[in-house]
Structure 1
């Protein structure tokens, strides 16, 4: 099972996304992929910042499709297990002097709670969190 970070889902929303990401995703079953509620929040926040117009309408429709069709039944929430993982992950990073954005720790915590691999372009952000991480942009 693979949890997709915001930058991977955003790549899916592009009319012509990165070829490496597309090939990497095509090498798996669609049912192997999940997204998390913090990713949905980041996507919706990005949409809220856009001015009204065609681009916002297109991206909003793409986001609706991702939530309601592509990942229907495969959107994971930040639940109690993730909250427990969050405390440990964020605490370790803070103690090492390497704080991480709350939303990133939430995504990592959901991956940890479900023993999932996290797919992200920002691999360096998730180093030393004891979760498997893959960068589809560098996949061959």
Structure 2
């Protein structure tokens, strides 16, 4: 989350129907943590305001880690391990929530999600 996002990502997002874009509860936690550990000051205030605006845009479109996602987490983690890949826990949770809904994942870090067998969209490319 940046005050001035990458132009390619911004352009990609503008081409998407807002109703097709989701966040995950894990992504929300990661952003809140990242902002929370910043020292008090202008940057922290700016990023807090951006985060709050982002959350208003995604009302009703934040995926939760539920029982279906928990089952998918086990499947994607086992599948990744079977081919010798490590799936970091947070990425595994994100992959599981996407799998449970039949969604692709948009990420610059494609590796973990490809290892989980997900369709990955890299807006930076």
- Shorter-chain TM band: over 0.9
On the 8 A contact 2:3/2:50 being kept in 1, the answer is: no
Task: Determine the C-alpha separation between the residues in 2 that align with 1:31 and 1:128.
Answer: 27
Write the mapping of 1:33-112 to structure 2, written as runs, cut at 5 A. 33-67=21-55, 69-112=56-99
TM normalised by structure 2 equals 0.93
Higher relative contact order (CA closer than 8 Å, sequence separation 6+)? 1
Task: Determine the C-alpha separation between the residues in 2 that align with 1:130 and 1:124.
Answer: 10
Residue 91 of structure 1 deviates from its aligned partner by 1.6
Asked if 1:116 corresponds to 2:112, the answer is no
TM normalised by structure 1 equals 0.84
Task: Determine the C-alpha separation between the residues in 2 that align with 1:71 and 1:78.
Answer: 16
Give aligned pairs, total: 125
Task: Determine the C-alpha separation between the residues in 1 that align with 2:115 and 2:94.
Answer: 15
Task: Determine the C-alpha separation between the residues in 2 that align with 1:60 and 1:28.
Answer: 25
Q: CA RMSD in A?
A: 1.2
In structure 2, stretches of 5+ residues that fail to align are none
Task: Determine the C-alpha separation between the residues in 2 that align with 1:48 and 1:16.
Answer: 19
Indicate the residue corresponding to 1:5 in structure 2: none
Q: Structure 1 segments of 4 or more deviating over 3 A?
A: none
In structure 1, stretches of 5+ residues that fail to align are 1-9
